[in-house]
Structure 1
Amino acid sequence: MNFYSLGLLRSVIHPQYLDNLFKLLTNLPDLRQLNLNFRELQEQFTTGENQRNTQFRINLRYFYDKVGIDLVQVNCFKSDILNKNKELILNKNIAQSDNPNFIERMIFYTNKVFGQHKTNREIEQLRKELGFEYDLIIDDKIKRNQGIVQYVRVYFPDECAACKQQYPIADRSFKYRNSERYYLEIHHCISFSADNTCDQIDNLVKLCPTCHRALTKNRADESYQQHLIRNIFKNSPKTYEFCLNFAGENQVLDFVYKRLR
Structure 2
Amino acid sequence: MSDNNVMLGAVDLSLARQGRRLLDGISLALPARGAVALIGPNGAGKSTLLNLLAGQMAADHGAVSLQGRPLQAFSVRERALRIGYMPQRFEPHWDVTLEDLVRMRVPGLGSAEQVLAQADLQTLGPRRWSTLSGGERARGMLAAVLAADPPVLLADEPGAALDVQHRLALVQALALRGRDRLVVVAMHDLDLAFERFDRVIVMHGGRVAMDGSPAQLLHQPQLDEIFGVHFERIAAPPHILLRARSRPQETAT
Q: TM-score range by the shorter chain?
A: under 0.3
- TM-score between both structures, scaled by the size of structure 1: 0.27
Larger Rg: 1
Q: Answer 1 or 2: higher relative contact order, Cα 8 Å, separation at least 6.
A: 2
**Which has more strand, going by share of residues?**
2
Given the two structures, how large is their TM-score scaled by the length of structure 2?
Answer: 0.27
More helix per residue:
1
